[in-house]
Structure 1
Amino acid sequence: MTGPIRRFQSLPLRSRLALLVTTAVAVAVAAVAVTCWLLTRTQLPSELDTSLQNTSAPATTVQNTFNNCVNGTDTGTPSGSNFAYIQVILADGTRCVASDSEPVTVQQEDLAVANGTEHQSLHDSTTESGTPVRVFTQRQVLRIPAGEVAVSVARPLTEINSSLNRLALLLTAVAGIGVIGAGAAGLWVARAGLRPVDGLTRAVEHVARTEDLTVRIPVAGEDEIARLSRSFNSMTAALASSRDRQSQLIADAGHELRTPLTSLRTNVELLARSEETGRAIPPDDRRALMASVKAQMTELAALIGDLQELSRPDAADPGPLQVVALHDIVDSALERARLRGPDLTISADLRPWYVRAEPAALERALVNVLDNAVKFSPPGGTVEVAVAEGGELTVRDHGPGIPADELPYVFERFWRSPSARALPGSGLGLSIVARTIQQTGGRITLHPAPEGGTVASIRIPGAPTPPPETP
């Protein structure tokens, strides 16, 4: 059984569909043909019995047949029927066969009617030549001393068998034609139905061969093939977008890495040249050079860390989510921000708000937001941080602000405002912040403050009180 199944599974899908359609139609046609034949085989004997019961031998025929049998003469009287065998059966088992009839073997059922035990009988028998017949025997009154005799009317069963044979041949021919037609129709249906799949297959093979993700499949209708085509188009569009983002990330990372690497290389070459030539660098210049090298190393480390953070897919698991106090995480991030801006005044008004997030990732995102506020604040400036009653976190600085035409780009990777290119940073911080906030189900927006500066607004779903602990 496993062998035929494997051979069937190895066939092309089109051939399997055509074979399945042909098999289904063949089974249906065979079932209908067999059912028709069986019903006919049941109905024809019933109709024959009815016909025999409604057929009575003419009285003159029966009387003449009896007289000829008793007198031992044959007058050649016709039986009055060219399709039935008629004979008279006496109580002692003697039979008188009508002219033009073939003798039929007398059965016990016939004798029972002749003896008066039964009024009539319907049974199978055979002629002396061996032809099977259906016999109907009943009592009939004659002009004899006994008064009544048994009269049998028989019809050959060959007419039923021949009809059934002809019907079987006809049904076989019709079934064969139906199966052949079903096979052709199944092949046509398989080809027509799988034509869109062929197009999809060619598109997939083209993408695999050329890596051309711009291929799109025309979509028509709402069936499964249309849904599959839409899914393929969505997949190739997502892959193309992902590849474009990957290429852009590599290009932007290379561009951002080039500047600190070039500066670091220059400083290292100056130090190496000083060692090779024996010409010492003035102490002040050497300290400045070492400070520059340290700053470039720090910038490279921060850039590599940001790239590692962004290397995770957007759909990657950010870590186990848990209920955390947003106000506590903001307070912890404020401590780090105050260390980075010791000359700034950072005020905080934190209302309780509990959210579901990954604590380390959320704190890192909030630190990035506060770092931006510290970085763009003027010396001696103020940074205002608040968690409102509805859970909205706002961070406002009093720096130069962000022009309206630059706001749509602030969350893009490596994007930096022209005014901020001289400041340290990779342009990845806000991109990381946006992704982290989105993973918690929240959102972040930046907009100009009424009196100058920028306001960062963060909304994360939560509640003012922690949820009850589950037992």
Structure 2
Amino acid sequence: MKRFLHRLRTLPLRSRLAVLTAAAVAFAVAAISVTCWFVVREQLYDKLDKELHEATPTPSLQQYAQLTATCPQKPAQNADLGRPNLYYVQVVDSSGTVCVSDYSRGTLTATSEDEAIAAAGDPEQDGVRNTTATDGTPVRVLTQAAVTGGPSRTIVPDRAIMVGIPLSETNTTLEHLALTLLFIGALGVVGAGAAGLWTARTGLRPVDQLTNTVEHVAATEDLTVRIPVEGDDEIARLSASFNSMTASLASSRELQQQLIADAGHELRTPLTSMRTNIELLTRSEETGRAIPPDDRKALMASVKAQMTELAALIGDLQELSRSGLSGTEGPLKVVSFHETARQALERARLRGPELKIVSELAPWYVRAEPAALERAIINLLDNAVKFSPPGGTIEVHLMRGALTVRDHGPGIPADELPHVFDRFWRSPMARALPGSGLGLSIVARTVESYGGEVSLAAADGGGTVATMRLPGAPTPPPDQPAEVTAA
């Protein structure tokens, strides 16, 4: 059995389905055929037993005495007992002595069961069995206590009468039935195997198509291939899932290529500037022509600024690509939004000491990664610090999960607002300011990963207002009053 199962696992899937279908049908056909054969056999035997009971003779006591007195061992045509040439009829006593009727078809061999019935003398006790007569004929035999005929039925002591009927016709019928069932079963198994193979080929055609598509994608890396989806069964769902997967992979690869291209473009500018400045310094050392101190100081400051810009750009790229561009670094947990905003405010005050930052933070709890959430808030505050005029005011409010950061800078033109969260996008008026163009993109990706949303809009009276909304955590936050601070 193990060997068969091992060989079955090595077959192709459609062959396995065909074999299993044929095996299941063969088992069902065999079970039905065997059951049918036994049911028919029992019905035929019941019919024979009923006929044997009806054919059992009831001679008189004198006839019994005459038969047992002469006790012939084979039939003879000179008596009036039984029916000629149709049945086996004989009398047996408890010692096993057999006396054959003159009209018996032949002689039967008595067994201990027949002797026990003769000794018991119970008319309700009988025995039916299949045996073989002395002439080799298969016989169905009924043995019961000998009873006389007439109105006064009397049990003949120590005697039993045996009546048998040939089984030739019954056995022939059963043999024909067995052959018929075997032939029909074989046809059923062959038909089931063919139907199983056809069904497997038809049912697995979408799987073959999916396999060919996967092999094509693996060989060519062509993620634009799609599988036609028909119906709503498991194969259709698998095809739809594969199409969704390839679409996601294609989008991810396109974003990756765009990120690499944008990063290369952004890195080229500071690298070119650094190379030019360093070449000027190197040429001054090689030629011995000193650069004026003020110019040299300006060159060194420029190199330092470009290095700082490169470091910031690389850090932003790492942040954007971390955790599959999801904006999260670790498992989410319930975080105090107002405490995280307060910590971000302290860092923002260090970056803009000349600015006045006013905050009003109402308690709110969210499910997020603390470091990523704080970084997103800092990026919003950095954007406000960068565009605020000297001595200006930044207003920060947190109420019911909505964090707003309002500055009083020049604002963002309406035609530029749709692009503020694009990677590496920078407003023309901000190109002279430090930055990589990735800060707001990181904010958007982080907030979206937590189920929130972020937006920028023009503020009344000038400036820009940034709004970050995050859903509350399922656990109820402790009661804590709002806090208003100014600096």
Give TM-score scaled by structure 1 length: 0.86
**Is 1:242 the counterpart of 2:245 in the alignment?**
no
Alpha-carbon offset, residue 417 of structure 1:
2.4
Q: Could you say which residue in structure 2 is the equivalent of 1:425?
A: 435
Higher deviation after alignment, 214-223 or 74-83: 74-83
Q: Could you say which residue in structure 2 is the equivalent of 1:101?
A: 105
Select which of 319, 331, 338 maps to 2:330. Answer: 319
Q: Could you say which residue in structure 1 is the equivalent of 2:87?
A: 84
Checking the alignment, whether the CA contact within 8 Å between 2:58 and 2:149 is kept in structure 1 is no
Q: Could you say which residue in structure 2 is the equivalent of 1:369?
A: 380
Q: Summarize the alignment of residues 308-387 of structure 1 with structure 2, pairs less than 5 Å apart.
A: 308-312=318-322, 313-315=324-326, 318-387=329-398
**Is 1:409 the counterpart of 2:419 in the alignment?**
yes
Higher deviation after alignment, 72-81 or 124-133: 72-81
Alpha-carbon offset, residue 435 of structure 1:
2.2
Checking the alignment, whether the CA contact within 8 Å between 1:113 and 1:139 is kept in structure 2 is no
Alpha-carbon offset, residue 76 of structure 1:
9.7
For 1:195 and 1:272, the matched residues in 2 are separated by 69
Alpha-carbon offset, residue 298 of structure 1:
0.7
For 1:27 and 1:380, the matched residues in 2 are separated by 91
For 1:6 and 1:132, the matched residues in 2 are separated by 47
Residues 169 and 75 (structure 1), Cα distance of their counterparts in 2 relative to 1, 3 Å cut = same
Q: Deviations over 1:191-239 (max 9, x none)?
A: 1111110000000000000000001111111211111111111110111
**Is 1:459 the counterpart of 2:459 in the alignment?**
no
For 2:114 and 2:341, the matched residues in 1 are separated by 114
Residues 328 and 108 (structure 1), Cα distance of their counterparts in 2 relative to 1, 3 Å cut = closer
**Is 1:272 the counterpart of 2:282 in the alignment?**
yes
Letter in 2 for 1:135: V
For 1:329 and 1:89, the matched residues in 2 are separated by 110
Q: Could you say which residue in structure 2 is the equivalent of 1:15?
A: 15
Q: Could you say which residue in structure 2 is the equivalent of 1:141?
A: 149
Aligned residue pair count: 462
Alpha-carbon offset, residue 47 of structure 1:
1.9
Residues 316 and 155 (structure 1), Cα distance of their counterparts in 2 relative to 1, 3 Å cut = farther
Checking the alignment, whether the CA contact within 8 Å between 1:79 and 1:101 is kept in structure 2 is no
Select which of 434, 445, 459 maps to 2:455. Answer: 445
Q: Deviations over 1:16-66 (max 9, x none)?
A: 111111111111111112222222333322221012223366989x98xx8
Select which of 206, 218, 227 maps to 1:217. Answer: 227
**Is 1:129 the counterpart of 2:135 in the alignment?**
yes
Alpha-carbon offset, residue 380 of structure 1:
3.6
For 1:293 and 1:254, the matched residues in 2 are separated by 19
Select which of 385, 396, 407 maps to 2:406. Answer: 396
Checking the alignment, whether the CA contact within 8 Å between 1:352 and 1:465 is kept in structure 2 is no
Residues 332 and 316 (structure 1), Cα distance of their counterparts in 2 relative to 1, 3 Å cut = closer
For 1:352 and 1:254, the matched residues in 2 are separated by 42
For 1:447 and 1:40, the matched residues in 2 are separated by 90
**Is 1:204 the counterpart of 2:214 in the alignment?**
yes
SS in 1 for 2:455: strand
Alpha-carbon offset, residue 331 of structure 1:
3.0
SS in 2 for 1:141: coil
Residues 134 and 466 (structure 1), Cα distance of their counterparts in 2 relative to 1, 3 Å cut = closer
SS in 2 for 1:430: helix
Q: Deviations over 1:251-291 (max 9, x none)?
A: 00000011111111111111111112222222222222111
Checking the alignment, whether the CA contact within 8 Å between 1:114 and 1:139 is kept in structure 2 is no
Letter in 1 for 2:35: T
Q: Deviations over 1:279-317 (max 9, x none)?
A: 222222222211111111110110000011112113575
SS in 1 for 2:185: helix
Letter in 1 for 2:182: T
For 1:368 and 1:409, the matched residues in 2 are separated by 16
Checking the alignment, whether the CA contact within 8 Å between 1:400 and 1:453 is kept in structure 2 is yes
Letter in 2 for 1:13: L
Residues 141 and 108 (structure 1), Cα distance of their counterparts in 2 relative to 1, 3 Å cut = farther
Residues 113 and 427 (structure 1), Cα distance of their counterparts in 2 relative to 1, 3 Å cut = closer
Higher deviation after alignment, 24-33 or 210-219: 24-33
Higher deviation after alignment, 177-186 or 46-55: 46-55
**Is 1:167 the counterpart of 2:177 in the alignment?**
yes
SS in 1 for 2:325: coil
Letter in 1 for 2:292: P
Query: Structure 1 unaligned runs (5+)?
Result: none
For 2:361 and 2:29, the matched residues in 1 are separated by 80
SS in 2 for 1:444: strand
Q: Deviations over 1:325-369 (max 9, x none)?
A: 433333332333233334433222233334343333222221111
Higher deviation after alignment, 331-340 or 394-403: 331-340
Query: Structure 2 unaligned runs (5+)?
Result: 480-487
Residues 273 and 98 (structure 1), Cα distance of their counterparts in 2 relative to 1, 3 Å cut = same
Residues 348 and 281 (structure 1), Cα distance of their counterparts in 2 relative to 1, 3 Å cut = same
SS in 1 for 2:176: helix
For 1:283 and 1:382, the matched residues in 2 are separated by 38
Give TM-score scaled by structure 2 length: 0.83
Higher deviation after alignment, 9-18 or 37-46: 37-46
Residues 83 and 406 (structure 1), Cα distance of their counterparts in 2 relative to 1, 3 Å cut = farther
For 1:112 and 1:336, the matched residues in 2 are separated by 112
Checking the alignment, whether the CA contact within 8 Å between 2:336 and 2:363 is kept in structure 1 is yes
RMSD after superposition: 3.6
Q: Could you say which residue in structure 1 is the equivalent of 2:46?
A: 46
Q: Could you say which residue in structure 1 is the equivalent of 2:121?
A: 117
Alpha-carbon offset, residue 384 of structure 1:
1.2
Alpha-carbon offset, residue 459 of structure 1:
1.9
Residues 39 and 250 (structure 1), Cα distance of their counterparts in 2 relative to 1, 3 Å cut = same
Residues 374 and 129 (structure 1), Cα distance of their counterparts in 2 relative to 1, 3 Å cut = same
Letter in 2 for 1:141: G
For 1:374 and 1:290, the matched residues in 2 are separated by 26
For 1:423 and 1:41, the matched residues in 2 are separated by 102
